[in-house]
């Protein structure tokens, strides 16, 4: 499997884990709400915070599903000379994978940073080519290669 395919799979795995975690959390909250309702009968069940937590997790779940769908748009076989969605951008000190903001990924003993095009550094990288320079957080970078 190519590096780009491994990176894309790592991002997909990360998002799938988040989706599973949010669903599990929501199931636990629903169970707690049902338990409170059974125990409280006519009294206030105190479910307000639980309902708030349920709503928050539903929002997180929807966002994770949106990201999963977004990742389906990335073609790991795409070759481009400019930094675009799905590109691996290597600088002299850091290698970025333009996909979604997952953070650090270890593949074949090398560290990559999965970033979004919408992130501040993603905005700086967009459209750059080999040899281009950019500055982020007072640090200068030169693009060595783009896969």
Order of all β-strands in the sheet with 139-146: 103-107, 110-115, 95-98, 88-91, 139-146, 133-136
Q: Which of 82, 107, 109, 112 is nearest to 96 (CA)?
A: 112
Q: Is 147 helix (H, G, I), strand (E, B) or coil?
A: coil
Residues forming beta bridges with residue 89, ordered by sequence position? 96, 146
Q: Is the pTM of this model over 0.95?
A: no
Pairing of strands 95-98, 110-115: parallel
pLDDT in tens, the chain (147 residues): 799 999 999 999 999 999 999 999 999 999 998 888 777 665 555 788 999 999 999 999 999 999 999 999 999 998 899 999 999 999 999 999 999 999 999 999 999 999 999 999 999 999 999 999 999 999 999 999 999
Domain ranges of the chain: 3-71, 88-146
């Amino acid at each position: 499997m190519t590096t780009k395919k491994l990176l894309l799979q790592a991002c997909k795995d990360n998002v799938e884990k988040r989706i599973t975690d949010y669903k599990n959390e929501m199931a636990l909250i629903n169970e707690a709400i049902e338990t409170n309702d059974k125990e409280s009968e006519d009294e206030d069940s105190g479910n307000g915070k639980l309902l708030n937590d349920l709503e928050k997790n539903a929002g997180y779940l929807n966002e994770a599903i949106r990201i999963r769908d977004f990742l389906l748009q990335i073609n790991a076989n795409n070759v481009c000379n400019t930094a675009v969605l799905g590109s691996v951008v290597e600088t002299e000190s850091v290698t970025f994978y333009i996909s979604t903001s997952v953070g650090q990924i270890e593949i074949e003993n090398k560290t990559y940073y999965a970033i979004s095009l919408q992130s501040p550094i993603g905005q700086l990288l967009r459209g750059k080519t080999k040899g281009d320079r950019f500055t982020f957080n007072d640090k200068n970078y030169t693009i060595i290669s783009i896969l």
